[in-house]
Chains A and B, each alone.
Chain A
Amino acid sequence: MQEYFLLFIGAIFVNNIVLAQYLGNCPFIGTSKESGVAIGMGAAVVFVATMAAAITWLVQAYILVPLGLGFLQTLAFILVIASLVQFVEMFLKKMVPPLYKSLGIFLPLITTNCAVMGIALICQREELDLKTTILFSFASGLGFMLALVLLAGIRERLAVRRLPIAMRGTPIGLVMAGLMSLAFFAFKGMI
């Protein structure tokens, strides 16, 4: 039980997917201007990353490994994740319209998101079993959401501050992301 807990906390804080592994920087900067948008995007990543890691684990375990095609991992995962996102979008639209409405516009953004892809690949590299994979990918998604919402909160306050013109928008966003990354570095000693 304790190891699951450590894995969970570690994935959120210590090995934060954005701030420690530097994956998914594009949506991290792009969708962190308003906290409402950031929460929607974060929830969509949590949802898709968990499902993607589980499906790709199955693809790896039951198709690629038996056929000895481990080197096709990346290629196959891209294919699977892209199809999965499309499927999930259709499924939600039909079955859970309220969830589709809140996640709807963010789902296509995630189709080629390297954070989702990265989480799936890390699970394979660490050779986790299915249960741990689901837990780890869920926690990593939460880590992404946490970083995104924090940055959005900071950037909302920055938007009404007096900044040099050259620093407004993305530049100050990157500086803030860097400072947050340094701050998260402090979690390194936790586990």
Chain B
Amino acid sequence: MADSTHMDVSYIAHLARIHLTDGETKLFQGQLDQVLTYVEQLGELDVSNVEPTAHAMALVNVLRDDTPRASLDHDAVIANAPAARDGQILVPKILE
């Protein structure tokens, strides 16, 4: 299966808004393909009798009550932002 062991690195980088040089693209392409080939070994196992799951723990329904608790201090939040104005976080202009 060619697809499961190959990832289009430049496309993924574009989706994640990461700029890669040609050299980096080539380097990561090789590394990621290696990772995928390694993981592909799992395909050798027969899992036809196993229920698919996204979790290793057999737990369900971990819920909390709808009770408010303290939020972070506003000044601390703003101090963490690269830029702020009027109590809001300022980012480069975005398109709706």
Does B associate with A? Answer: no
